[in-house]
Amino acid sequence: MTPEAGVRPSRRVRPVPAAIRALVRAAPQLQPSIERLLWRAFYEIASARGRNIGTALMNYGYATSQELDGGDGEDRFGLALYGAVAGAGDLSGKDVLEVGCGRGGGSAFVFEHFHPSSMTGVDLAHSAIERCRRRYGRPGLTFVSGDAQSLPLPAEAFDAVINVESSHCYPDMALFLGEVRRVLRPGGQLLLADFRPTESSATGAGSQDDVRALRQQLADAGFRAVDEEDITAEVLRALSLATPAVRARIQRRVPRLLRGKALEFSAVEGSAIFRSFAGGERTYLRFALEKS
């Protein structure tokens, strides 16, 4: 078959992404809803495969300069990130919410090690919540399916909200922060860790979702920064130390055609994401904030 004029024969058109781009161009007001649906579909698929993936967490991890090797599995680095985030607050005897709990390992870790009175995990993926309930559910530790931008929870029900490496997925950060403020009691804590482009120019013209914008979003939402730390170096170290185990797991359990995407998503050493952290194009920050 002769290709149409102006179309490169070697370039294959992917109809679904093309249709999504066309829809956003025609109706830009739909972009947040489309993004939310796509992230939900992605995490439903990731959760469905999670039974065999070998990890209880979905974050890049945290390792100090004292870490010498990968040690006893990938989860140690992911749990260390939760320790750094939760350890910046006072959670003992408190009612704590994690928004974006994923596979539930982080919520369970916080519940067991920081001794809140209650711990609730919320995630957009229904299948993830079902698995969390089966694996970790117990008195005081519960899991609820819900959207971070419209939490299915009552106002002023929590003393602290934890959000680990999830907010960069949200189409509307202001909506999320408004919901966090709504469910927090007066003086409540927001313990947040996530990455952003270091500057807008790092991701192309028009991007507003950089480090400076994040700080402004937090302030505009009525949160006062009690503590802020750049943990990019610790995250990079964790990614580097975990890379051999991650590569081996993906080699064993991911179909050959998907391995490249899986390695990139996992930010193994040498990936574009890893290089963006190492080159200063992305910054990973940890915040301890108070509802003002």
pLDDT band at 56 (very low <50, low <70, confident <90, very high): confident
pLDDT at 40: 47
**282-291 and 184-197 as β-strands: parallel, antiparallel, unpaired?**
antiparallel
Dist CA 61 CA 73 (whole Å) = 12
Do β-strands 158-164 and 223-230 pair in parallel, antiparallel, or remain unpaired?
unpaired
- What's residue 224's pLDDT? 98
Q: Indicate whether 74 pLDDT > 80.
A: no
Residue 137 pLDDT class (50, 70, 90 cuts): very high
Residue 237 has, within 13 A of its CA and on its CB side, a CA count of 16
Domains of the chain: 75-233+281-291 (3.40.50.150), 234-277 (no CATH)
Q: Model confidence at 85, in pLDDT bands (50, 70, 90)?
A: very high
pLDDT digits (tens, 9 = 90+) for 240-272: 999 999 999 899 988 888 899 889 999 999 999
